[in-house]
Amino acid sequence: MRIAARGFTLLELLVALAVFAIMAIAAYGGLRNVLFTRAAVEAQSRRLAAVQLAVYRMEQDVEQTLARGIRDEYGDPQPALRGGALASDALTLTRAGWDNPLGQARATLQRVAYRLREGRLWRLHWQVLDRGGLVEPRETLLLDRVQELKVRFLDADDAWQDDWPPPAAASDDGETGRRGSVVLPRAVEVSLTLEDWGEITRLFPLAG
């Protein structure tokens, strides 16, 4: 007795294709979500690393601030630390511990500044302290998507000052440069407002 061969009907093929399509769409959706989640996590990790590095760089500079004023390109004395809303840069200071692995003929002190420009936070540093002429700073981009950079200063009386040197010191018979080169705040508070993370505030004590 011969058994006749039987194939799939058109309806069975259509049902099988429909089931396969549904499973493929579900698998693709799951894979896409996994890839999107991974990309988002990697982007957040890179952002976190950039923010941490910027804050760490500022912490290292502020905590190594020295009471060493400078003379600018016009020969005018400038305080060891200057900052606030009235200053051209949010924070400018003289710091110690400038590494010199190549043994160059230069000081181990460094003049640095932090500047917010077009949503980007830049760190500037000069090769010399007392310029005696026009010396262009070198710029390093620390962070982008920054909306605001604010600093304030804790003085010896535990009072917060929005500008440094304080206005009282700046009005002392033109002694801003001389007094500012010696008088330093006890701590500096830095607030960064980021487009994605909002406001981040850190307090950096000065040595001594």
Backbone angles phi, psi at 201, to 5 degrees: -120, 135
pLDDT at 159 over 90: yes
Position 132 scores a pLDDT of: 76
| Predicted confidence band of residue 186 (pLDDT cuts 50, 70, 90) | very high
d(CA 34, CA 8): 37
Q: What is the arithmetic mean of pLDDT over 98-106?
A: 63
Q: What is the arithmetic mean of pLDDT over 56-60?
A: 95
Position 100 scores a pLDDT of: 62
pLDDT tens digits for range 4-40: 556 667 776 777 777 777 887 877 777 777 777 778 7
Q: What is the arithmetic mean of pLDDT over 139-161?
A: 95
| CATH of the domain spanning 57-205, picked from 3.90.1150.10, 3.40.630.30, 3.30.379.10, 3.10.610.10 | 3.10.610.10
Position 118 scores a pLDDT of: 93
Determine contact, residues 59/204, Cβ cutoff 8 Å: yes
Q: What does pLDDT average to over the chain? A: 84
More confident residue, 12 or 52: 52
Integer angstrom CA distances of residue 160 from 79, 80, 84 = 18, 18, 12
Position 179 scores a pLDDT of: 39
Listed residue (100, 131, 129) closest to 112, CA to CA:
129
Q: What is the arithmetic mean of pLDDT over 101-105?
A: 60
pLDDT at 137 over 70: yes
Position 178 scores a pLDDT of: 43
Lowest mean pLDDT among 70-74, 97-101, 128-132, 200-204: 97-101
| Predicted confidence band of residue 59 (pLDDT cuts 50, 70, 90) | very high
Listed residue (138, 120, 112, 150) closest to 50, CA to CA:
120
